[in-house]
Amino acid sequence: MKTIAVSIRTTVALMIIVLAYQLVVTGIAQAVMPDKADGSLIYNDKHEIIGSKWIGQNFTSPGYFHGRISSIEYNAVSSGTPNYAPSNPDMLERTKASVEAWKSENPGIPVSELPVDLITNSGSGLDPHISVEAAQVQIPRISKSTGIPEEQLKELVAKHTQDRELGVLGERVVNVLLLNIDVQKTVNGK
């Protein structure tokens, strides 16, 4: 009986401490770095939310750089993948369809230059990045569609390429949303 009483009373005390910990962290985070704490949101000139730096978006128009495949179409109210096993025939079929779609959207570019990250579903369904190769290989299509010279697009890709953290950790990536915002600005600026 005594152990139950101690258990209940200790539980209450610890609940208070754990809640206080989170509220204090929230308070400090909101005071010191409110933008990051709110999800690194990106706004347009009219102060409307475009998206978040960390959350990918669905790009289908030929004039934008495309991101990874997302079975949830980048709807960030949830997250997820189809969880296809390597041996799942549906996965193979989807991948083949992606390769075919790529061929028709990017005529003249050999399939052997198509990087694997563009035809596979990301883990989160919200991957904001693609590999540098995956950005470069799309340049001819975007140039043709928007009229922006390839050289200028190459510069934009270089501008949005993030090197490995501390020079070694992780992979070199390109943030698709930030890159496309610049593409849009360039198109509108002309």
Partner 1 sequence: MTMISYIAIAITLLLSLLLARPAGLYMAQVFNYERTGLDRWFGWLEKPVYAIGGIRKENYSWKQYALAAVLSNAVMMLLVYLIFRFQGVLPLNPSGIASMEPTLAFNTVISFMANTNLQHYSGESGLSYLSQMLAIVFMMFTSPATGLAVGIAIIRGLTGKPLGNFFVDMVRAITRILLPICFVLALVFVALGVPQTLEPTALGHTLEGMTQEIARGPVASFLSIKELGNNGGGFFGVNSAHPFENPDAISNLLQILLMLLLGTGLPFTYGKMVGNKKQGRVLFVSMAMMFIVFLGISLASENAGNPAVNALGIQHQQGSMEGKEVRFGVAQSALYSVVTTASETGAVNTMHDTLTPIGGLITIGNMMLNTVFGGVGVGFVNVLMYTMIAVFLSGLMVGRTPEFLGKKIEGKEMKLIAVTLIINPILILLPTALALLTQSDTLSNPGFHGLTQALYEFTSAAANNGSGFEGLGDATPFWNISTGIVMFLGRYFSIIAMLAVAGSLAAKKTVPETSGTFRTDKALFGTVFLGTVLIVGALTFFPALALGPIAEFLTLKP
Number of residues that bind partner 1 (CB under 8 A): 101
Chosen residue from 45, 47, 85, 104 binding partner 1 by CB under 8 A: 85
Q: How far is the CB of 146 from partner 1 (least distance, A)?
A: 13
Site for partner 1 in 114-143 (CB under 8 A): 114-117, 119-131, 133
CA gap 149, 98 in Å, rounded: 27
Interaction of residue 145 with partner 1, rule CB under 8 A: no
CA gap 174, 162 in Å, rounded: 6
Q: How far is the CB of 56 from partner 1 (least distance, A)?
A: 8
Single out the segment in contact with partner 1 by CB under 8 A; choices: 54-62, 139-147, 150-158.
54-62
Contacts 24+ apart (CB under 8 A), 51-55: 51/177, 52/76, 53/128, 53/175, 53/177, 53/178, 54/128, 55/126, 55/128, 55/177
Interaction of residue 71 with partner 1, rule CB under 8 A: no
Q: For residue 15, give Cα distances in angstroms to 12, 21, 24, 26, 29.
A: 5, 10, 14, 17, 21
CA gap 188, 190 in Å, rounded: 6
- Residues 160 and 180 sit within 8 Å (Cβ to Cβ): no
Interaction of residue 97 with partner 1, rule CB under 8 A: no
Interaction of residue 101 with partner 1, rule CB under 8 A: no
Nearer to partner 1, 151 or 165 (CB): 165
Interaction of residue 54 with partner 1, rule CB under 8 A: yes
**What's the token pair of residue 152?**
């200028």
Chosen residue from 45, 47, 55, 161 binding partner 1 by CB under 8 A: 55
Interaction of residue 84 with partner 1, rule CB under 8 A: yes
